[in-house]
Chains A and B, each alone.
Chain A
């Protein structure tokens, strides 16, 4: 087997040096009745060519050449080739967690840069080295809020990504944290009156997403004020990080729970992505996850180490701020490289292109009879439309034209019949968008 660097002769030689007559001698501690006495029933070994053939064949059975107007928590952006070229270096991707700082300065400095970039983007003071994804960053943020103020009630707006809310409920249940959902208003933003009514002095935190699942942009400063009035923390959830190239950062939030996949990670059918938690310095000792800190070595040189580790599981065990160990370091590195490439000007230009393309499609679709924009609130690169036909049927017709027309809102919001959320990024060409409009026109006829 080509991954095993020993010949049979070497194995035999090593065994004889151990005083063993066969490899079986080394498995003597496993009783005979526990032994598997047959070969594993898995596919026979394949050559490299056969393996790639297998996966190419699987790829051909997927959506391939479809135009994808899909956002809903995962965003298709151009991935500069420099990203893969760099993260494919073995010193990056075959390295371990940087516990041995002297031979991990590359990883540690890159984490420090990532933490800095996340702070600059979100307007927060400290950020960690990554969480699994945005959806788990949300409950970790909620648990962090509960740890900070000792209250046990969390409000979450219904326009936070539905799957994120499900994850929050899974985690909250076992922690005895009450989760209360706040409805949205007709504008598409959170119902401020309902939020005000639900806030009380038992509320640990309010979680809001902006742009939200409908694509609408929320008023973060107002929500922060409302939360703080009752001594609650504001958790700002972000699923489309490219929006931060243009939108004001949620600096008033106490904790930001973000998905950074939009910064150059392939959609890859759902993962691996890279969550981020960012917050205020005063809360740093309650932060979950790894933190890289700057320090000096014994000869005065600048260097970096993992720090504040007493928060973490390998030190604190059952008293840790989180059980997270392996996170998403390589993905965070890819994000760091992506952001380096775009930089201050590029991220803005990228966001502006997203804004322009999404608004172009929204405007053109808005001209069609039988189709209306659901919410009047401002949007970035996602927006909800309502059709006067069965949305599932419209979606199917567009699929025949190799267009994936977003997600059906009725799937999670039963009161929103025949509505779709569409996403347009810089990757969509005008000709494709015009084709989408034409396909909608046909689908909505008769």
Chain B
């Protein structure tokens, strides 16, 4: 079974309990320098009522136990460093090490967000150069680096949309979202106080323009579009879409999650987009970190610049400063200027690539995805024959005949040494398999992936149970999510003391 694949084999990995289970009173993993000023009695300085007794249950462990604990845990994970990570629209590309070195430099990591502008010129220059590069790549006119993630950028963008409409007398009520959209789009629109209406996709996978026209009206504030969409398909009628949106006085918002298909090739600002967000932890190589941190800069056309969050970076007399004098700004979306450490990483990536690198990256991303699509289209159902760019989406329809779903295929892929693709999204495809290899995969890794997917398709015919009960080689088998939901256990608690023996 698994031993016959060349990509992965089982290996002994260390088991490890919870940190709290290794704790014993008196163990320590720290050493502080001796106090060089007089000690202060907490009860006297704060009042006895304000002082806590010990932190119950808090661990006491030694340094080596901590190193082993978190090292062992890490070996149970799969990262981009391990191998191909084809999650659709996540753009799991290589996280360059020089990014990590740059972000940790003394002089950058050490700077305090409240220090005066004149001793922060280096930080402000980094932000200015990154802004210029992102504006050039997107074709927009102004940008904020403040949002901490894509969804945060979406909220910033929709709030700016609302503020702009408000400045013209009517904030409007509705935001349109394609039925193929990522969940954050409608969630964001709702938080921004808008009602969400779904626009249908047409049979070619693109936006149904008739459905768009039907929903469009003077109650609509914006259309939130992902381009290419979550099927990896470019909205080739984007001019028409922009026209329809603009004719009714609405704004065209673009979710920039899929910029890895466009950078250097085309620019959203050139095809009618008024406002977009970028995911630096996708297109711009900053690491996913197991779920963040990311950054979600928002780029806008000139007419929306006054509404950008405060502060903005301004240049005056050869020096940079943070300007707060922005009467039409939507205000702050967070304290301080942004996830600066993430911004440094993104800029390092752009500097490493230069114009040729960015273009070649986009081309390789699209080549890799099309290569996979071609080599799997005879064994997995392609719901749309429309060409796709940097990601491709299959359906589990053929395998479903044997009772095997996209979830099962994904779990079996783990046995073959890969991280699964995105399962069951977008919702408009039956049992979707959403595959984005990114440019970071070599031909060898792609061929191994294709071989694994073809082998699983064969297994679906010859031994479907094997696929349905996968994975077989991981430390844990499939986990009981139902009980986890019904009776949530969300923290460790000390066991009750044992009864003393008679």
Give chain B nearest CB distance to A163 CB in angstroms.
Answer: 4
Which residues of chain B are within 8 angstroms of A291 by Cβ–Cβ distance? 488, 490
CA distance A84 to B101 in the complex (A): 11
Q: Does B213 contact A (CB under 8 A)?
A: no
Q: Which of B56-64, B245-253, B394-402 lies at the binding interface?
A: B56-64
A-B contact pairs, 9 of them (CB 8 A): A11-B367, A34-B238, A95-B79, A107-B290, A132-B149, A270-B338, A271-B337, A330-B291, A331-B292
Cβ contact within 8 Å between A266 and B110: yes
**Which of A132, A326, A347, A359 contacts B45, CB < 8 Å?**
A359
Known contacts A70-B112, A96-B92, A106-B73; is-contact A326 B292 (Cβ 8 Å): yes
Q: Does B94 contact A (CB under 8 A)?
A: yes
Cβ contact within 8 Å between B490 and A115: yes
CA distance A296 to B155 in the complex (A): 37
Cβ contact within 8 Å between A268 and B75: no
Q: Does B214 contact A (CB under 8 A)?
A: no
Which residues of chain B are within 8 angstroms of A1 by Cβ–Cβ distance? 352-353, 356-357, 360-361
Cβ contact within 8 Å between A30 and B56: no
Q: Does A194 contact B (CB under 8 A)?
A: no
Q: Does B495 contact A (CB under 8 A)?
A: no
Q: Does B1 contact A (CB under 8 A)?
A: no
Give chain A nearest CB distance to B90 CB in angstroms.
Answer: 6
Cβ contact within 8 Å between B479 and A296: yes
Which residues of chain B are within 8 angstroms of A433 by Cβ–Cβ distance? 37
Which residues of chain A are within 8 angstroms of B219 by Cβ–Cβ distance? none
CA distance A330 to B126 in the complex (A): 23
Give chain A nearest CB distance to B276 CB in angstroms.
Answer: 15
Which residues of chain A are within 8 angstroms of B100 by Cβ–Cβ distance? 88, 93
CA distance A349 to B30 in the complex (A): 10
Contacts between the two chains (Cβ within 8 Å), count: 677
B36-69 interface code vs A (CB 8 A; 1 in, 0 out): 1111101001110111101111111101001101
Which residues of chain A are within 8 angstroms of B51 by Cβ–Cβ distance? 246-248
Sorting the interface of chain B by its residue count into under 10, 10 to 19, 20 to 34 or 35 or more gives 35 or more
Cβ contact within 8 Å between B364 and A4: yes
**Which of A26, A68, A86 contacts B115, CB < 8 Å?**
A68
Cβ contact within 8 Å between A352 and B42: yes
Q: Does B299 contact A (CB under 8 A)?
A: no
Cβ contact within 8 Å between A94 and B80: yes
Known contacts A267-B113, A341-B29; is-contact A328 B151 (Cβ 8 Å): no
Q: Does A198 contact B (CB under 8 A)?
A: no
Q: Does B192 contact A (CB under 8 A)?
A: yes
Which residues of chain B are within 8 angstroms of A106 by Cβ–Cβ distance? 73-77
CA distance A406 to B310 in the complex (A): 22
A-B pairs, top 5 by smallest CB distance, nearest first, are A59-B107, A90-B81, A45-B354, A330-B289, A270-B336
**Which of B189, B287, B410, B442 contacts A5, CB < 8 Å?**
B442
Q: Does A56 contact B (CB under 8 A)?
A: yes
Give chain B nearest CB distance to A440 CB in angstroms.
Answer: 17
Which residues of chain B are within 8 angstroms of A343 by Cβ–Cβ distance? 23, 27-30, 58-61
Q: Does A148 contact B (CB under 8 A)?
A: no
Give chain B nearest CB distance to A122 CB in angstroms.
Answer: 10
Cβ contact within 8 Å between B37 and A94: no
CA distance A404 to B112 in the complex (A): 10
Give chain B nearest CB distance to A40 CB in angstroms.
Answer: 4
CA distance A118 to B164 in the complex (A): 40
Known contacts A54-B351, A326-B151; is-contact A246 B52 (Cβ 8 Å): yes
Q: Does B500 contact A (CB under 8 A)?
A: no
**Which of A134, A164, A340, A359 contacts B66, CB < 8 Å?**
A340
Known contacts A94-B287, A246-B52; is-contact A55 B66 (Cβ 8 Å): no
A31-66 interface code vs B (CB 8 A; 1 in, 0 out): 100111001111111101011101111111111101
B1-17 interface code vs A (CB 8 A; 1 in, 0 out): 00000000000000010
Cβ contact within 8 Å between A297 and B149: no
Cβ contact within 8 Å between B483 and A295: yes
Q: In the complex, which of the residues B137, B292, B443 has the most CB atoms of chain A within 10 Å of its own CB atom? A: B292
CA distance A345 to B29 in the complex (A): 10
Cβ contact within 8 Å between A97 and B108: no
CA distance A295 to B476 in the complex (A): 11
